[in-house]
Amino acid sequence: MEAGALIAEAERAVAAGNLDAAIGLLQKAADQRADNVEVWLKIAALHRGSGRPGPALEAVHRALAVQPRDFTALMLRASLLEGLGDPAAGEAWGNALANKPGGEMPAPLAVAVARGEQRHAEWLAERERKMAANMADAEAAASPDELRRIDRFRSNVLRRTRPFHSNPTHFHFPELAEREFHPRQLFPWIERVEQATEAIAAELAAVMAAERAELVPYIQYADHLPLDQWKSLNKNLDWTAIHLWRNGERIEANARHCPETMAMLEAVPQPKVVGAGPNAMFSLLAPNTRIPPHVGVSNARLVCHLPLVVPEGCWFRVGAETRLWKRGEAFVFDDTIEHEAMNPSDELRVVFIFDLWHPDLSATERRAVRALIEADGGAGEGL
């Protein structure tokens, strides 16, 4: 008898209440078509309904050998492991939920998913409790920076967060420290930048009021280029910039209104690279506007933000860490790690942005970076 006929006969056996006969028929069908996931899942369901979780789990594993990411099979596996009291059940729920399809689900499946989410959350919480208890002595002796890294280590292991890495669009220099946000102590000039907040804000007001100031869309590229992530913001005045330096060119129409800001920048180790740097600008983000996830051009430089006009709720994410901008509180981040921003308010948000050399680069390495980028024609997009 062919597989199709065996399956039809098995369905009649199920309707008659003869589950063992149905299992036998389905097993014969599976012997003919071992790659038929649905047959293995039917066998698993019948074994489970007959109170045989072990054979049911074996059948689920046969299905997963064919399709390792099948959501129904993964959910059934997690439920069976939980019923067997297997400690692997918590992780199994996580694997199943990671493969949850989008869109609406049938009500019974939605209930099962909600239950799985609860079980997985309970498993994670217990796992975290054990880890934290075992790490308590080490954390008690940790500095604030060490404590932050230890906490992220635990969060990554629990998969509440994940690792993010430098992924520049153009220029990647090897073996530079990858940090989403870099520690303040690496930049002795950062407090002087913060102390200049009021002066820089006053010059922002002056340049915005100037008749010949140049305010341009932050994103500008030819429409035919394959840059879909920027489609909604390309040449869009919802995200604009007032450049003081742009790819190494001083924008005189703006810079002449900002003498104190330009003087402050002289004390910062900005990359001076023909066609690429320095870069410094006022970044203006319109109300209810989101900047999509993206990465920058070169990990040889970092980026500093000095928030000037920050409505409530404006946030900035680099990798797995999200911060709220606070007026006058500067920070340095690696823009070659995925980052995004949002202004959810009904007011304009303004941040002063400038680039700087990565502190891990020696003077010789900076010369090499400068020479390569200049030979290659510059950074193109700049920031």
In a domain, 273, yes or no: yes
Within a domain: 133: no
Report the pLDDT value the prediction gives residue 4, as an integer from 0 to 100.
85
328: helix, strand or coil: coil
Which of 101, 128, 148 is a domain's end point? 101
Together in a domain, 366 and 232? yes
Q: Which of 50, 74, 101 is the last residue of a domain?
A: 101
In total, the chain counts a number of residues equal to 383
pLDDT digits (tens, 9 = 90+) for 92-115: 999 999 999 999 989 989 999 999
Contact between residue 200 and residue 260 where contact means Cβ atoms under 8 Å apart:
yes
Answer yes or no: do 332 and 203 share one domain: yes
Output 112 or 382, whichever has higher pLDDT: 112
Spatial contact of 317 and 252, defined as CB atoms under 8 Å apart = no
pLDDT in tens, 197-234: 999 999 999 999 886 556 665 544 445 444 454 445 44
Determine, yes or no, domain membership for 159.
no
Share of the chain above pLDDT 70, in %: 91
Tell me the CATH number at 190.
Answer: 2.60.120.330
- Report residue 342 CA to chain centroid gap: 14
Cα(39)–Cα(104) distance, rounded to whole angstroms?
25
Q: Dihedral angle at the C-alpha atoms of 263, 264, 269, 270, nearest 10 degrees? A: -70
For residue 254, CA distances in Å to 211, 262, 324 come to 10, 10, 28
Angstrom CA distances, 307 to 125, 191, 319, stand at 36, 13, 20
- The CATH number given to whatever domain includes residue 22 is 1.25.40.10
Give me the chain's average pLDDT, please: 91
Domain-located, residue 155: no
**Domain tally, the chain:** 2
How much is the pLDDT for 7?
86
Encode pLDDT of 46-87 as tens digits.
999 999 999 999 999 999 999 999 999 999 999 999 999 999
Strand locations in 104-191, DSSP E? 181-182
pLDDT tens for residues 295-348? 999 999 999 999 999 999 999 999 999 999 999 999 999 999 999 999 999 999
Cβ-count burial of 55 within 10 angstroms (0-12 exposed, 13-18 middle, 19+ buried)?
A: middle
Sign (positive/negative) of CA torsion 148, 305, 176, 173?
positive
Q: What angle do CA 46, 76, 42 make, to 5 degrees?
A: 30
Which whole number is the average pLDDT over 115-144?
96
Cα–Cα distance, 89 to 56 (Å, whole number): 15
Interval 253-275 mean pLDDT: 96
Residue pLDDT, tens place only, 2-43 = 888 888 888 898 899 899 998 898 888 888 888 999 999 999
Least confident window among 116-130, 237-251, 314-328: 237-251
Q: Which domain holds residue 69?
A: 3-101
